[in-house]
Amino acid sequence: MAERWDALVIGGGFYGLYLAETLAARLPRVLLVERGPELMARASYANQARVHAGYHYPRSVLTAARSRANFPRFVDEFRPAVRSDFIKLYAVARRDSKVTAAQFVAAMRRVGAATERATPNERRLFDLDLIEDVFRVTEFAFDSAELKRLMAERIRRAGAVIRLNTPAEQVEPLPGGSIHVRLADAEVHAGMVVSCGYANTNAVGAASGLPVIPLKHELTEMALVEVPEGFRNVGVTVMDGPFFSCMPFPPQGLRSLSHVRYTPHGHWYDGLPGEGHLPADEVVATADKRTAFPHMARDAARYMPALAGCEYRGSLWEVKTVLPRSEADDSRPILFRPDHGLPNYHVVLGGKIDNVYDVADELTNHLGWAAPARVAA
Ligand SMILES: Cc1cc2nc3c(=O)[nH]c(=O)nc-3n(C[C@H](O)[C@H](O)[C@H](O)COP(=O)(O)OP(=O)(O)OC[C@H]3O[C@@H](n4cnc5c(N)ncnc54)[C@H](O)[C@@H]3O)c2cc1C
């Protein structure tokens, strides 16, 4: 006899955990399956840790505006996981930037994001022949290790069940609208399935003969570095083109260094005409993972000479998955595909951590539920 669950969530990243908690507020039997040995060990760990406040998206008003709306909510709800003990500077490059400093300020004003001119000392960190202007903004970082601890505790309180080392493999419809799910080691029946596999979004659907959702995947490298003294309380992003960011990476007490040109080590698409689904893990397993840190550091040091003193401590390799239309304007729309190919099989993808609120709202609206009351962490 197959086990019966009201809802099954595929994926133990931040999205899977948050949505499992949302479902468990209404449903007594919620199961979350994670194929790996740990929760929040994939993209929800290996990312730049930026709590987006809109500044990163001067070319996408909608993404910037949603970040403005979600930023205070995330900071409030996950306060113990939020790091605000650094100064955040956004600099605009004189050449090759898709926005000028005036356009950056105007775009931010449109979404209500304050920009303050950086102090002379802060400006001196940059080569002002290459940088048009520098702004001090309010943007924070999150500690994914702390976020994981908070979410694991919330899931425990909500009463959802978590199974690690449990890949979901296939889904098929059952009479009456529930879904038969084949797990690697069991067969279960669920009233609904919410798929939160991120880079692996299409895998279960493709194995079940469901339509492949068009997605773009990028193999990414973020270098983890020790920054020189005098730089330790600063986070920097140079806009808006082939430049770099250097942000706190709280789980390891280091900084991440990423570069628009050198962080991506290749990309591929799912669901383009004539193409199917390429499993992300296979691409990653066979990819050449020689670090691009020397290129990142050399280029970053042109704009901020002190960064020449960065010491390399390792790299985080992960797949970044976005909707193909994000290529044009670097936006981060969410994907919400209710009843994708079969009733009650819902597929979600959030381009960034704070989008989880928009995804949770879509899901609860679809189910006809009022938003659940949440207890701040
Ligand atoms: C390089 C990089 C930098 C980023 N920077 C930022 C940033 O600064 N700020 C920000 O807000 N966002 C950032 N993001 C985006 C952010 O990381 C993601 O939006 C978010 O982590 C997605 O969470 P998730 O739970 O969907 O994915 P994940 O954390 O990847 O979780 C998906 C989980 O599903 C599991 N899974 C997959 N298939 C199956 C299956 N069949 N059965 C069971 N389990 C399965 C996987 O093992 C994984 O644990 C970045 C992403 C990358 C890659």
Predicted local distance difference test score (pLDDT) of residue 332 = 80
DSSP per position, 224-276: EEEPPTTSTTEEEEEESSS-EEEEEEGGGTEEEEEETTTSEEEEEEES-TT--
Q: Quick check: CB of 14 below 6 Å from ligand 1? A: yes
Higher pLDDT, 375 or 113: 113
Predicted local distance difference test score (pLDDT) of residue 121 = 95
Q: What's the whole-number mean pLDDT along residues 128-134? A: 98
Question: What's the chain's Rg over C-alpha atoms?
Answer: 21
CA 253 to ligand 1 center in whole angstroms? 21
The neighbouring-strand residues paired with 268 are: 217
Model confidence at 157: pLDDT above 80: yes
240: preceding bond cis by omega (within 30 degrees): yes
Predicted local distance difference test score (pLDDT) of residue 151 = 98
Predicted local distance difference test score (pLDDT) of residue 284 = 86
Predicted local distance difference test score (pLDDT) of residue 374 = 57
Nearest of 50, 5, 2 to residue 32 by alpha carbon: 5
Q: Quick check: CB of 48 below 6 Å from ligand 1? A: yes
CA distances from 89 to 51, 94, 127, 249 (A): 14, 16, 14, 16
Model confidence at 156: pLDDT above 90: yes
Q: What's the whole-number mean pLDDT along residues 200-226? A: 96
Q: What's the whole-number mean pLDDT along residues 321-336? A: 84
Predicted local distance difference test score (pLDDT) of residue 87 = 97
Model confidence at 372: pLDDT above 70: no
The neighbouring-strand residues paired with 142 are: 82
Report the predicted TM-score, pTM, of the whole model to 2 decimal places.
0.96
Q: What is the pLDDT of residues 3-16, one digit of tens each?
A: 999 999 999 999 99
Nearest of 112, 126, 354, 84 to residue 236 by alpha carbon: 126
The listed CATH number (1.10.3210.10, 3.50.50.60, 3.30.420.40, 3.40.50.150) that belongs to domain 3-367: 3.50.50.60
The number of angstroms, rounded, from the C-alpha of 126 to the middle of its chain's C-alpha atoms is 28
Model confidence at 233: pLDDT above 90: yes
Predicted local distance difference test score (pLDDT) of residue 230 = 82
Predicted local distance difference test score (pLDDT) of residue 273 = 79
Q: What is the pLDDT of residues 234-287, one digit of tens each?
A: 999 999 999 999 999 999 999 999 999 999 999 999 988 777 788 888 888 899
Q: Quick check: CB of 15 below 6 Å from ligand 1? A: yes
- Measured in degrees and rounded to the nearest 5, phi and psi for residue 13 equal -85, -175
Q: Is the Cα torsion angle 65, 61, 356, 37 positive or negative in sign?
A: negative
Predicted local distance difference test score (pLDDT) of residue 373 = 54
The number of angstroms, rounded, from the C-alpha of 190 to the middle of its chain's C-alpha atoms is 27
CA 318 to ligand 1 center in whole angstroms? 9
Q: What is the pLDDT of residues 39-98, one digit of tens each?
A: 999 999 999 999 999 999 999 999 999 999 999 999 999 999 999 999 999 999 999 999
Predicted local distance difference test score (pLDDT) of residue 248 = 98
CA of 36, closest atom in ligand 1: 47
Asked which of 21-30, 277-286, 322-331 is least confident by mean pLDDT, the reply is: 322-331
Query: HSE (CB half, 13 Å, CA atoms) of 28?
Result: 1
Task: Report strand pairing: 3-10 vs 187-195.
Answer: parallel
Q: Quick check: CB of 56 below 6 Å from ligand 1? A: no
Q: What is the Cα–Cα distance from 167 to 157, expressed in whole angstroms?
A: 24
Predicted local distance difference test score (pLDDT) of residue 330 = 73
CA distances from 302 to 128, 235, 255 (A): 10, 17, 18
CA 182 to ligand 1 center in whole angstroms? 22
CA distances from 154 to 61, 133, 148, 158, 161 (A): 33, 43, 10, 6, 12
Q: What is the Cα–Cα distance from 352 to 345, expressed in whole angstroms?
A: 22
Q: How confident is the model at residue 325 (pLDDT cuts 50, 70, 90)?
A: confident
DSSP class of residue 118?
P
User: What percentage of the chain carries pLDDT values higher than 90?
Assistant: 88
Q: Quick check: CB of 16 below 6 Å from ligand 1? A: yes
Burial 335-350 (b: 16+ CB within 10 A, else e): bbbbebbbebbbbbbb
Q: What's the mean pLDDT when you consider all of the chain?
A: 95
Q: Quick check: CB of 340 below 6 Å from ligand 1? A: no
